[in-house]
Structure 1
Amino acid sequence: MTPWNPHSWQRFPAQQQPAYDDPSELEAALARLRRLPPLVVPEEVERLRGLLADAASGRRFLLQGGDCAEQFKDCTPEAIEGKLRVLLQMSVVLAHGGRRPVVRIGRIAGQFAKPRSKPTETVQGRELPSYRGDLVNGLEASEAARRADPGRLLEAYFHASATLNHLRALAAGGFADLHHPERWELPGETGSVPAYRRTLDQVRESLDFLEALGGVQREALERIDFFTSHEALLLPYEEALTRWVGGASAYYNLGAHTLWIGERTRQLDGAHVEYLRGIRNPLGVKVGPSATPEHLADLLAKLDPDREPGRLTLITRFGAAKIQEALPPLLKAVQATGHPVLWSCDPMHGNGVSVQVGLSPEQEAEGHRAKGVAQRASRTMREVKTRDFGAILSELRQAFEIHRAHRSHLGGVHIELTGEPVTECTGGSENLSEADLAKAYETGCDPRLNGTQSLEMAFLIAEMMRG
C-alpha cells in the first residue's frame, strides 16, 4: 500500500461529499476544528477495542443504537437521557437473558451526517438540494437552508461536545445505578414494560445477594461504560479531528470511539477506505446486497492487514427477503481469510418501505410532531419511509440461525432507535399501523424504533442469543 497520512484520502475519489461555495470559508472552519480539544481520549478507544475483541470471540455482545441522524435541535437533556435510558434498558435485558456482558455504543454525539442516493429531492413540490444532515445543511425547505454551510462543522463539534459531556456526567453520576430503576422508566411505555420490570427485579435481587456476600462492590453498579460512534462520511471533518498520539505511535480519530463506513462509501479505491485504514480506532463496515465475497476479502486485507482482534465489525444489512441468499457466501469468505471480525446485524436499513400517509407539511419538512386541529386539517397524502417490526425481527432471527448453521456467531446488533414515543415504524406490541405514522413522525431521515418497540426487541434478541 502507498504511505498513509490523515489527508492522503484527498488523492482518491470521494463519494457523498457536499460542494461548498467558498473554499476559504471551509478552510477557516477546519483550521478552527484542528485547534479544538479532542472529544474522546485514546485510552477509551483502546478499552473499546478490547471489549469488541471479547464480543468477536463470544464473551460479550454488542448493542449499538441511536438516531438515524442527530439534529442540533435535539441536543437537550431530555432527548439525551431518553436515548441513554432505552439503551440501558435494552442492555439489562440482553445481559440478563443472553447471559453475556453487553458493550454499549450509541449512534450519538457526532451522527450528524447522512449519505443520500440523489443530490436533490422534492419537498413540498420544490426541487432542492438533498438534506445531508445537520453537519452539512438544514432540513428546512428553502434554498438558503439547503446550502452546504462550513459553519455547521463547528456547530456539530460543539453539539457533540455538549452531548458527550452530559452522557459522561450521567454515566459517572449513577444514572445507570440498578438500585434506582425509577430513573430508567420512559413516559408512555406499554407492552414489554411489565416483563422488563420483572427482569429488573430479578437482576436487583441477584445483585443484592452478591453484595451481601461481598462478591460485588456497589460502586461498580453505579457506573457504566458507554461509547460513541458515527458514520465516517464527511472526510474533511473527520480529518480535522484526527490526531497523532505519540505514546501509541498512531493516529486516532478523537471525535468518536469508533466509526463505521457505509454501503455507499466502501469502494476499495475510494477516499473513505483510504482514510479509515490509517486510524487506530475500531471500525465498522456496513455490508449490504452489493457486497461480493471477493470485495469483502479485499476490504478486510486493506482495513485490517494485521488481523487484530477488535479492529473490525462487519455490520450486515440485507433485508429479511435477501439475507438467506446473501449472507452465507460472505460468512464463508471471511472464515477463509482468518480475520477475527465481529459480526453484527443491522436489521433496519434493508427493510425500509415507502408509504402514503397524511402528514402535515410541517411534519414532512421539519420532522415536527403534528399538534392541534389546524395542522391535522391541513394534512395531505405524502410519501414517507417506514419499517415493519416483523420484518426487522425476521432479519435478526434469520441472522442468528445462519451464523449458527455456519459455525459462526452473531455478536451484536445495530439499531436505529430513540427514547421518544414516536410512531415511525409499524408493528410491535403497540400494533402501530400505517395510519398511526402521522401521530408522531419526527425523524429527519429514516424511521426509528420507539422506546417500547426497542425494549420489546431486546427481549426477543435475548431469546435468540440463548438459541
Structure 2
Amino acid sequence: MTEATQDRIRDTGYKDHFQPEYPNVAELEEVTRKLRDMTGIATPEEILTTKQQYAGVATGANGSWILVTGPCSEPISLQQPETTFVERYTRLLQIGKASSPTSPPLHALRACGQNAKPRSAECEMLPDGSIVPSYYGDLINGIDPSDRTPDPTRMVAGALQARDVNRALRDNGQQFVSTHEALLLPYEESFIVQGAQGREFLTSCTVPWIGKRTNEPDGIHVDMLKDIENPIGIKIGPGDKPEKIAELTQKLNPSCEPGKLLYILRFGVGNLYQAPEILQSIKDHSKGALILCDPMHGNTVKTLDGRKTREVPRIIDEIKAISKMCQELGLRLHGLHLEASGRDDRVECVDSVGQSPDHTAVVDPELNNNQLAGVLEETGECFV
C-alpha cells in the first residue's frame, strides 16, 4: 500500500474506507511485495479489447449487451480442486449464452478475485457475548469466529487461486472477462502496472467496480482507479445524488470515452423513485456510459426467522422498471449484474413473495441455475 493511502486510512474508522486493520504491518508489507512480483490474471491487451467491445455496446455498433454473473463472495481454498469452480462458472456462462442465442451477451464473471466484502458492521457479537471482527470475505479473514483476525497472507492465497481458476477456465475453452469489487486497497494497488506509453492497467481483473459504500468522488477507491485504462463499474443506489454522476465522470472518464464507465444501478423496488434523476444525470453528464441493473442488493429481505433471502419476482420487476425508465429518457439498459451460484443444489433466493429459502446464504443470497435462467428469460426483451 502506498504511503499516501496509508496516511488517508490512518486514524479513520472502518466505515470511512472499509479497510481491515492488520495487526502485523511488517507482514502486510512483505505480502504486498510478493503480490507485486506476481502476474495478474488480466493483460493490457485483454483490457483494451474489452474496452473496445464495451464501446461498441455503448454506441450500439455491435448490437450486444453485458451480463455479469457469479458468487456474492468467492471462497478461497487451495485444497479445493479447480474443477469445482470451473464447473460452476462454466454453467453460468452456458446459461448466459443460451439466454440470447441470436445475440449472446458479453459475459463477465464475478470470479477469480471476488473475495473481499464491505460489511455494514465492523464487528459482531457472538452468542457468548464476545466481540470479533465481522467476516470480510476470504481475502481478509475466515468465516469461523476463531479465524476473524485479518491475515494478509490470505491475499497471496487469493491471487494464486484466481490465477489457477482463470487458467483452468481458459484451458477449458471458456470466453469471458473477470470482474470484482476493487475493495481491498493493498491487494488492488499491488496489481496496478504500467504498460506502453506510461498507461496504467489494473491486472487483478479486467473490469473492476467501485461499490456503493465506496463510491465517493473524493474517496480513496475512486482515486486509486482514476488513471487506469480498464473499464470501471460504479455501483449507484439509494441516497446517491444526481450531482455525483458528474463528479465521478470528471474524475474517472473526463473525456467521456464510450464504454469506459458502467453505472450499475442497485436501488430495490422500494427506492426506484430515485432512479430517474440518476438516469437523467447519466444522460446529461456521462455520455457514452453503460447502464447496468443490479436488482439483487436492493431487494434483500429477511424471513421471520431472521435469514436473508431475495424474491425473484421483485428482481424481475426492478429490471423491467429500470429498462422502461431508460426507454422513456431515450437511453438503453445495457446489461445485468446478478449474484448467482452456478449451482442446482442451493435455494437461497425464493420464487414467490413471502416464501422461505431452503438454504441460508453465507453472505448474501444467490440465484441458483434455474432461477438465473428464469430471470434472463423473463427480461430478455429489455436488452434488445
Residues 1:36 and 2:38 aligned together? yes
* CA displacement at 1:458 relative to structure 2: 1.2
**How many residues of Structure 1 are paired with residues of Structure 2 in the alignment?**
372
* CA displacement at 1:10 relative to structure 2: 4.4
Aligned to 1:165: 167
| Alignment partners' CA distance in 2, 1:163 and 1:103 | 20
Contact 1:109 1:160 in 2 (8 A): yes
User: Which of the residues 293, 297, 300 maps onto 2:249?
Assistant: 300
User: Which of the residues 327, 335, 348 maps onto 2:275?
Assistant: 327
Unaligned runs of 5+ in 2: 10-15
| Alignment partners' CA distance in 1, 2:346 and 2:126 | 22
User: Which of the residues 103, 106, 110 maps onto 1:103?
Assistant: 106
In structure 2, give the amino acid aligned to 1:60.
S
Distance 1:405 1:455, change over 3 A: same
* CA displacement at 1:151 relative to structure 2: 0.8
Contact 2:266 2:298 in 1 (8 A): yes
Q: Identical aligned pairs, as a percentage? A: 32
Distance 1:459 1:291, change over 3 A: same
Q: Give the 3-state SS of the residue equivalent to 1:284 in structure 2.
A: strand
In structure 2, give the amino acid aligned to 1:233.
L
Q: Give the 3-state SS of the residue equivalent to 2:201 in structure 1.
A: strand
| Alignment partners' CA distance in 2, 1:465 and 1:34 | 39
Residues 1:316 and 2:249 aligned together? no
Q: Give the 3-state SS of the residue equivalent to 1:286 in structure 2.
A: strand
In structure 1, give the amino acid aligned to 2:143.
L
Aligned to 2:99: 93
Residues 1:241 and 2:191 aligned together? yes
In structure 1, give the amino acid aligned to 2:171.
A
Distance 1:72 1:400, change over 3 A: same
Aligned to 2:179: 229
Aligned to 1:440: 359
Deviations, residues 284-327 of structure 1 (Å, cap 9, x unaligned):
0000012111112111111101111121000000001211x111
Deviations, residues 133-165 of structure 1 (Å, cap 9, x unaligned):
0000000122xx000001101011111111111
| Alignment partners' CA distance in 2, 1:322 and 1:432 | 19
In structure 1, give the amino acid aligned to 2:89.
K
In structure 2, give the amino acid aligned to 1:257.
T
Distance 1:265 1:10, change over 3 A: same
Deviations, residues 17-54 of structure 1 (Å, cap 9, x unaligned):
00000100100111111111222211011111011112
Relative contact order (alpha carbons < 8 A, sep ≥ 6): 1 or 2 greater?
1
Q: Give the 3-state SS of the residue equivalent to 2:21 in structure 1.
A: coil
| Greater C-alpha Rg | 1
Aligned to 1:375: none
Question: RMSD of the alignment, in Å?
Answer: 2.0
| Alignment partners' CA distance in 1, 2:3 and 2:200 | 12
In structure 2, give the amino acid aligned to 1:282.
P
| Alignment partners' CA distance in 2, 1:75 and 1:230 | 21
User: Which of the residues 114, 129, 135 maps onto 2:139?
Assistant: 135
* CA displacement at 1:6 relative to structure 2: 7.2
Residues 1:410 and 2:333 aligned together? yes
Residues 1:262 and 2:211 aligned together? yes
In structure 2, give the amino acid aligned to 1:251.
E
Q: Give the 3-state SS of the residue equivalent to 1:335 in structure 2.
A: helix
Contact 1:12 1:270 in 2 (8 A): no
User: Which of the residues 355, 365, 371 maps onto 2:303?
Assistant: 355
Contact 2:208 2:231 in 1 (8 A): yes
Written as runs of structure 1 = structure 2, the 5 A alignment for 1:150-161 is 150-161=152-163
Deviations, residues 158-199 of structure 1 (Å, cap 9, x unaligned):
11111111111112xxxxxxxxxxxxxxxxxxxxxxxxxxxx
| Alignment partners' CA distance in 2, 1:339 and 1:136 | 37
Contact 1:20 1:150 in 2 (8 A): yes
Written as runs of structure 1 = structure 2, the 5 A alignment for 1:40-189 is 40-58=42-60, 59-73=63-77, 76-96=82-102, 100-126=103-129, 127-142=131-146, 145-171=147-173
The TM-score with structure 2 as length reference comes to 0.92
Contact 2:310 2:350 in 1 (8 A): yes
Contact 1:7 1:275 in 2 (8 A): no
User: Which of the residues 382, 386, 398 maps onto 2:321?
Assistant: 398
